[in-house]
Structure 1
Amino acid sequence: MDLKTKLVYQWAKMRIRAIESYRDNAREIQLKQLKRLLGRLERTEFGRRHALTRNCSYHDFASRTPVQSYEEVKADVERMIRGERDILIPGSCRWYAKSSGTTNDKSKYIPVPYTHLHDCHYRGGGDALWLYLRNYPDSRFFSTKGLVLGGSHAPIDLGSNSSAGDLSAILVQHMPALGALMRVPSTKTLLMDEWGAKMKAIVREVASAKVGSLSGVPSWMMVMLKEVLDYTGADNISEVWPSLEVFFHGGISFEPYREAYQELIPSTTMRYEETYNASEGFVAIQDDPSQRGMLLMLDYGTFYEFVPVEAIDESADPICDPTAPIPLWEVEPGKNYAILMSTLGGLYRYLIGDTVQFTSINPYRIIITGRTKHFINAFGEELMVANADRAIARASYETKSKVAEYTAAPHFFHDEGKGRHDWLIEFSTPPADIDTFARVLDEELQKLNSDYEAKRYMDMTLKPLALQVAPSGLFHRWLDEKGKLGGQHKIPRLANSRKHLDELLGMISQTNA
């Protein structure tokens, strides 16, 4: 490490020891978080409604508190936005993270009180850095600038001193002084609303900066890096930023983008670190590059429970069997679980919509496998986004191609009682032969998913997938039409419904008409 980085890292050693204690004390740490939450809950209307006090056991908490989605908490959140106090948290909440909506609403507003912002989101960002420095003592992190690419702020005045915006923008606006000092571009630029103008401003500011790290969503960071190359005329990013050493990425799987990043950044010392920071809370960090999965962060004021995905039905009331959720210490490796979070932000036994598998339980490491709604199970195949991402990556490697975006949905042949998956893929580097790509993709899906393989056996239930190539920029135009261009907005990869796919295909038809 250079002197600056070494001096800052000295402050992190005690924190590193606390994280390393997760291995031996996971249950005790989690129960301590629950006790902290219960102490706050007894001072709220929600706590009184469900007879929750600091003396409640885990069994009391689980039996008295229903599993909830946004629909169940929406009324209380709206009361908080109107300025009512002591509803879900003690006191009031000024900021709300605006995220993708539900069936009945365009947007969700997730409370982000300062305690939660500080003890969860910012602690997660700090821990990601400390773990990185522990693993790579040759880092010169604090001798360079960190390029942060977040969502457009577009602050919404919700009234009663309440405001909403993208979580990434809320984090930027309230960033501690050290982080703000180390970051590019400027706060003013990062909080610009219109994505196109914002991208141009970012590129102008960062092209000549001494950038050593990147933070953001892989898809949108890729767009920005290509803009930097166009602006500078350089052949690759290593020419622009020779000190670049790490990309802290999250939001979507990195696998479909890995090869493209290695081409854009040919440096042999470049590293890629995955983080999992949802609007509801900072969940996990890649702590060991030799291990698969991210370390579940246990002491952020969050209490975790997990529901086997087969027990979830978000269209039902209740959402799942009340006996289905289990605490962390009862999970099994290799099973798909939906995450329930209880947080300092005022969400309790809240179904955040992500699904995970545990790759180890000592310590607890997870991989994100998809969303409770973003999968295809139209024919019993249970195809998860994690399967699709890995198969896309393999097919890209085999055919020397690069995928920019994709989505897939089922196609029913009702007269035959069969179906197939229809894929729409936008390539940044197309394969020489599309049929070969489709064949390899189908074969890889069968290797990765035994249920898919069984349904594909002799075309008994599933016919071979169909692949259509999307014109360049289609997915971004689709997001733009929905007012979701840029930042942390994501393409829905898989769905049981054809709604998104048919909208995209309709745009192609209109263009060709």
Structure 2
Amino acid sequence: MSLKSFGAKIFASYIAGKIKKWADNPLETQQKVFEKLIDAAQYTNFGNDHHFDKIKTHQDFVKHVPIRDYEALKPYVDKMVAGEADVLWPGKPLYFAKTSGTTSGVKYIPLTKDSMKTHPNSARNAILSYIAETGNTSFVDGKMIFLQGSPIMTEKNGIKLGRLSGIVAHYVPNYLQKNRLPSLETNCIEDWEHKVDKIVEETIDQDMTLIGGIPPWVQMYYERLIQKSGKTVGELFKNYQLFVYGGVNYEPYRRKLEDLIGRSVDSIELYPASEGFFAFQDSQTEKGMLLQLDNGIFYEFIKADEFFNENPTRITIKDVQLDVNYVMIISTTAGLWAYNIGDTVIFTSLKPYRVMVSGRIKHFISAFGEHVIGKEVEQAMLEASAGTDIKVTEFTVAPQVAPQSGLPYHEWMIEFENEGMGDLNAFAKALDTSLQAQNSYYFDLIEGKVLQPLKITRVAKDGFNEYMKSQGKLGGQNKIPRLSNDRKIADLLAVKQ
């Protein structure tokens, strides 16, 4: 065992003990976070506007601080972008993470000194939790790569701007710098396809032991490696042991990625976002990710079915239940208050609190009241594909409300890896059967002859990548929505067949 491996095992044990301490005391931990947040921001513009001096309890908070999305918070953010201090959080942000907004164009998410440190620390702790559980440390001596955005930043009124993954790249600890790939020069390439080709050149002859990134873009990296070498990824990287991912559910990609590797490897799921680092997979045997209750984030939850009510009930972790779809609301050390990030989660465990991401509150199909969510279509795809030769590269689902003939239906836009696959009609039936079993509203609509069973439309090879490229969203942290309540994506994909 190397000195680095030995040190990693000791450090992992220490961190695991710290995590267990707050995970075993969740309500007390969240209460402390709540009190520190309110106290710290009491004299900010936002704190003054919302009577933070009168907030002592969660009920007080609900009374004085309404739920906001980015559009509602934008007047405060605009002041910060203009250079004002003490707006949402004391002082000025260290950075603004730039993300794409649907109605507001570019969004500027503040990252403060207090919030910034939680991003690299949480990613580190995820890996240390893996080491503490499995005892596996040999991968720390090999090369590691995280497929991420460019670390190049611009500046606006003295505050640096960049993509979150690029900002975090500046916080890689010194003890990992010698192991880290690709080079800074390659990491700064903006064009994703060119960047992947350069990454292949730099890594193809290295001892890669850990690879991280969003699954569809890691898939592209794997495919380019195989094209260049004629070998599987596992043959190229004989010591490759750990895949770290986030952003999308791995399960729809697992089969394809493991085929490209030639074997299975352990994986760790992360739940980072520009707004905060919310959870990570702390166990290889338990379902879900450990909710980060000691990360400067106070969590509230609203049942997804009630979210669009006039006054939906806001609860804390104290009152959440298993297997209920919740919209997650956050308040953070970056100055985001009762902020709706748009994600929905389901609790898989309450001791400790573990979650899985079930979708986006805006990404659903409910053209007829069915409210089908991302988790359901992904589960249907997994069940329908199991035991078949059908391999799916990518897919998305949209309603077809006004077909040329017959009843409306859900249209599944699917890019298949293999041309000569099995019975597509049987596959569509299996998808529909699974979706009906998961969603009683959808079942009733099919049974009541309001909808006809789903239909599959094949997307041409590389059709999804071409679509993402046309939208300026190829690679990095971008991902295809699993489903939508309109046909903006579906109609563009249909044109590209």
Please state which band the TM-score falls in when normalised by the shorter chain.
Answer: over 0.9
| Alignment partner of 1:283 is 2:278 | yes
Q: Secondary structure at the match of 2:109?
A: strand
Q: 1:347 Cα deviation (Å)?
A: 0.5
- C-alpha distance in structure 2 between counterparts of 1:94 and 1:322, whole Å: 35
Instruction: Give the residue type in structure 1 aligned to 2:207.
Output: K
1:130-145 correspondence runs (5 A): 130-145=128-143
Question: What's the counterpart of residue 446 of structure 2?
Answer: 456
CA pair 484-415 structure 1, distance change in 2 beyond 3 A: closer
Instruction: Give the residue type in structure 1 aligned to 2:61.
Output: F
Question: What's the counterpart of residue 429 of structure 1?
Answer: 418
Question: What's the counterpart of residue 111 of structure 1?
Answer: 110
Question: What's the counterpart of residue 85 of structure 1?
Answer: 85
Question: What's the counterpart of residue 31 of structure 1?
Answer: 31
- C-alpha distance in structure 2 between counterparts of 1:501 and 1:415, whole Å: 16
Contact 1:293 1:367 in 2 (8 A): yes
Q: 1:322 Cα deviation (Å)?
A: 4.4
1:244 to 227, 240, 243: 240
Instruction: Give the residue type in structure 1 aligned to 2:397.
Output: A
Report the more deviating stretch, 217-226 or 22-31: 22-31
Query: Which deviations, in whole Å up to 9, do the C-alpha atoms of 1:382-432 show, x marking residues without a partner?
Result: 211111112112222343122111111111249999521011111123423
Question: What's the counterpart of residue 51 of structure 1?
Answer: 51
Question: What's the counterpart of residue 294 of structure 2?
Answer: 299
Provide the alpha-carbon RMSD of the alignment: 2.0
1:381-396 correspondence runs (5 A): 381-396=370-385
Query: Which deviations, in whole Å up to 9, do the C-alpha atoms of 1:226-257 show, x marking residues without a partner?
Result: 111112221x1111111111101110111111
Q: 1:373 Cα deviation (Å)?
A: 0.7
CA pair 382-398 structure 1, distance change in 2 beyond 3 A: farther
Query: Which deviations, in whole Å up to 9, do the C-alpha atoms of 1:17-54 show, x marking residues without a partner?
Result: 12113443100001111112112211311111111149
Question: What's the counterpart of residue 267 of structure 2?
Answer: 272
Identity %: 34
Q: Which runs of 5+ in 1 are unaligned?
A: 314-319, 509-513
Question: What's the counterpart of residue 488 of structure 2?
Answer: 499
Q: 1:349 Cα deviation (Å)?
A: 0.7
Question: What's the counterpart of residue 257 of structure 1?
Answer: 253
Q: 1:134 Cα deviation (Å)?
A: 1.3
Q: 1:65 Cα deviation (Å)?
A: 0.9
1:405-424 correspondence runs (5 A): 405-413=394-402, 418-424=407-413
- C-alpha distance in structure 2 between counterparts of 1:410 and 1:398, whole Å: 28
1:163 to 154, 160, 165: 160
Q: Runs in 1 of length 4+ with deviation above 3 angstroms?
A: 152-157, 320-323, 413-418
Q: 1:199 Cα deviation (Å)?
A: 1.1
CA pair 156-434 structure 1, distance change in 2 beyond 3 A: farther
1:433-444 correspondence runs (5 A): 433-444=423-434
Q: Secondary structure at the match of 2:408?
A: strand
- C-alpha distance in structure 2 between counterparts of 1:122 and 1:23, whole Å: 19
Instruction: Give the residue type in structure 2 aligned to 1:444.
Output: S
- C-alpha distance in structure 1 between counterparts of 2:287 and 2:111, whole Å: 30
Question: What's the counterpart of residue 340 of structure 1?
Answer: 329
- C-alpha distance in structure 2 between counterparts of 1:62 and 1:302, whole Å: 16
Tell me the TM-score normalized by structure 2: 0.95
Q: 1:70 Cα deviation (Å)?
A: 0.4
Contact 1:358 1:367 in 2 (8 A): yes
Q: 1:507 Cα deviation (Å)?
A: 3.4
CA pair 244-414 structure 1, distance change in 2 beyond 3 A: closer
1:210 to 207, 216, 224: 207
Instruction: Give the residue type in structure 1 aligned to 2:367.
Output: A
Q: Secondary structure at the match of 2:435?
A: helix
How many residues align? The count is 496
Contact 1:379 1:419 in 2 (8 A): no
- C-alpha distance in structure 2 between counterparts of 1:242 and 1:400, whole Å: 27
- C-alpha distance in structure 1 between counterparts of 2:496 and 2:228, whole Å: 30
Question: What's the counterpart of residue 76 of structure 1?
Answer: 76
- C-alpha distance in structure 1 between counterparts of 2:39 and 2:224, whole Å: 50
Instruction: Give the residue type in structure 2 aligned to 1:82.
Output: A
Contact 2:151 2:188 in 1 (8 A): yes
1:303-322 correspondence runs (5 A): 303-313=298-308, 321-322=310-311
- C-alpha distance in structure 2 between counterparts of 1:19 and 1:263, whole Å: 35
Tell me the TM-score normalized by structure 1: 0.92
Report the more deviating stretch, 406-415 or 213-222: 406-415
- C-alpha distance in structure 2 between counterparts of 1:323 and 1:447, whole Å: 28
Question: What's the counterpart of residue 100 of structure 1?
Answer: 100
- C-alpha distance in structure 1 between counterparts of 2:35 and 2:371, whole Å: 37
1:327-406 correspondence runs (5 A): 327-406=316-395
Contact 1:399 1:437 in 2 (8 A): no
Instruction: Give the residue type in structure 2 aligned to 1:301.
Output: G
Q: Which runs of 5+ in 2 are unaligned?
A: none
Q: Secondary structure at the match of 2:271?
A: strand
CA pair 420-427 structure 1, distance change in 2 beyond 3 A: same
- C-alpha distance in structure 2 between counterparts of 1:460 and 1:284, whole Å: 41
Contact 1:36 1:54 in 2 (8 A): no
Contact 1:154 1:193 in 2 (8 A): no
Q: Secondary structure at the match of 2:84?
A: coil
Contact 2:11 2:128 in 1 (8 A): no
